[in-house]
Amino acid sequence: MRHHGRAGILVAMLACSFQFTSNPLDAQQASIPDAPLAFGAFSAQFRGDGTFSLAGEGWPSMQGTWTINGSEMELRLTGARPECAGPARYTIAVNGQHVTFALGSDGCVERRMILDRSEWRPASEALAVPERRITLNFLSSPNRSFVGPPTLGQGRPLDRG
C-alpha cells in the first residue's frame, strides 16, 4: 500500500511539470516573406514594418497593418468601411515562400473571400499549370463495339438528307 502512495505522488509531480513546460513549437513565429505575393488575380505584400497591401482587378484594394502571434495573423484595415474596420484573424502556415491562410474570424466579406483557404506564392514564381490530356475511348466498355454509321445496301452511309 505504501508503494502506491509514492507512485501517486510521483505521477502528480510529473503531471505538474508537464503542465508548466511550454512546447517550443508554440513559441515559434511564422515568418511571412517580405516580397510581393500572388494568388490568382490578386497581389499582396506583407512588409517587415507591419503594413500590408492587397489588390486585385475588380476588387477594392486594401491597406492596413498586420501582426503575428504564433501562427495567428491579425489584420486591420486603414480607412475601411464599418463592416471591414474590425480586426480579422487568420491561421497561417508558411511553407518556404508560400503562405496559406485559414479563417479564424473576419467580418469583412471581400477580405474573407480573398484570403480564406488561399495559398499565396511569390509573385516572381511562375504558376505551375499541369498539362491536360484528353483522350476519347469509345471502346472502354467490354460489352460494346464500334460498328460504324448505319448504311443502305451497298455499304454507303445512310443519307439523312
Decide if 104 contacts 79 (C-beta within 8 A). no
pLDDT at 64 exceeding the cut of 50: yes
Give the model confidence (pLDDT) of 29-62 as tens digits.
678 899 999 999 999 999 999 999 999 999 999 9
pLDDT at 3 exceeding the cut of 80: no
Q: What is the mean pLDDT of residues 59-69?
A: 95
* Helical spans, DSSP H, in 50-94: none
Q: In the prediction, which pLDDT does 100 show?
A: 97
Please indicate whether residue 5 or residue 100 has the higher confidence score (pLDDT). 100
Architecture label for domain 26-122: Beta Barrel (2.40)
pLDDT at 156 exceeding the cut of 70: no
Backbone angles phi, psi at 6, to 5 degrees: -65, -40
Decide if 34 contacts 120 (C-beta within 8 A). no
User: CB atoms < 10 A from the CB of 161, how many?
Assistant: 3
Q: In the prediction, which pLDDT does 7 show?
A: 44
Q: Where in the chain are the domains?
A: 26-122
